[in-house]
Amino acid sequence: MKAPLGVILAGGRATRMGGGDKGMLPLRGGTILSHVIMRLEPQVAGLALNANGNPDRFATLGLPVVSDSIADYAGPLSGVLAGLDWAAAQGATHIVSAAADTPFFPCDLVPQLQLAAETTGAKIALAATPGGRHPTFGLWPVALRDDLRVALQGGLRKVIVWTDKHGCATAHFPDDAAFFNVNTPEDLAKAKAML
C-alpha cells in the first residue's frame, strides 16, 4: 500500500477549552497543531486540515483546508468524510486521520495502521492502546466515502458503530500517553509538562 494522504481533524467547537481553535494554542516553540503537523507530515503523501469557518485563519500553515459537508458539527466522522472527498479529488485511495489536539501520537502511526489493515484484510484500521481505541486516528479507504455520507445524513455520529460495520482492524500501541489530547486549560498545562 502506498503512502496515504493525511487529514488533521480540527473541525470541533472546543467547548471545554472555551471555544476557538485549540490546535492554535501555544506549545513549546509552536502550537499544538504545529506539533501534530511535524509528526504526521513525514508519514503521508500530502496533508490537509479539516476545519470549519473561515479558512484564512490557517493561511500561515500552507495546508489546504477542507470543511465539513455535513451541517451542525456532526463530529469526527464528518471530518473524515471531508478528508475522503478531498483525497478522492487527488486520486488517492486512502487517508489517515489524526486529531488536531493530540501532539504526542506515535511517529510510526501510519505504517502501523497500514500493517494492521493489510494483515487482517480489513478496510479500516484504528489506533488503540491498553486504555482503548482512539477513533480519530485511523486509516480510511476513499471507496467507502459514499457509504459514510449516507450514514452521516441518516444521523450516525459514533465512529465505532460505522467502523465496526465495515470490519475494522486495530493497530496496537503500548503507551496511552501517546494519545493524550488537550481538551481543557489543565490539559494544556499537562502537555507543556510532558514536553
Q: What is the pLDDT of residues 122-137, one digit of tens each?
A: 999 999 999 999 999 9
Residue 64 has pLDDT above 60, yes or no: yes
Structure confidence at residue 71 (pLDDT): 78
Q: What is the mean pLDDT of residues 26-45?
A: 95
Q: In what order do the strands lie in the sheet with 168-172?
A: 65-66, 47-50, 5-9, 94-99, 132-141, 124-129, 168-172
User: What's the first-to-final CA gap in the chain, in angstroms?
Assistant: 33
Structure confidence at residue 17 (pLDDT): 45
User: What is the C-alpha to C-alpha distance for residues 6 and 27, in angstroms, rounded to an integer?
Assistant: 22
By the 10 Å C-beta count (0-12 exposed, 13-18 middle, 19+ buried), 180 is classed as: middle
Q: What is the mean pLDDT of residues 84-104?
A: 97
| pLDDT, tens digit, 9 for 90 and up, residues 99-108 | 999 999 999 9
What grid cell was written down for 20?
Answer: 476557538
Residue 109 has pLDDT above 90, yes or no: yes
- For the chain, domains (ranges, CATH) are 5-194 (3.90.550.10)
- The residue that leads in pLDDT, 148 or 74, is 148
Specify the pTM.
0.94
Q: Do the Cβ atoms of 56 and 120 come closer than 8 Å?
A: no
Structure confidence at residue 74 (pLDDT): 79
Q: What is the mean pLDDT of residues 77-91?
A: 97
For the chain, the helix, strand and coil percentages under 3-state DSSP, each to the nearest 5:
45, 20, 35
Q: Which residues contact 122 (CB under 8 A, 6 or more apart)?
A: 116, 166, 167, 168, 169
Inter-helix orientation angle 32-40/109-120, to 10°: 50
Structure confidence at residue 13 (pLDDT): 54
Structure confidence at residue 15 (pLDDT): 47
Q: Are strands 5-9 and 94-99 parallel, antiparallel or unpaired?
A: parallel
Q: How confident is the model at residue 21 (pLDDT cuts 50, 70, 90)?
A: confident
| pLDDT, tens digit, 9 for 90 and up, residues 155-182 | 999 999 999 999 999 999 999 999 999 9
User: What is the C-alpha to C-alpha distance for residues 75 and 17, in angstroms, rounded to an integer?
Assistant: 17
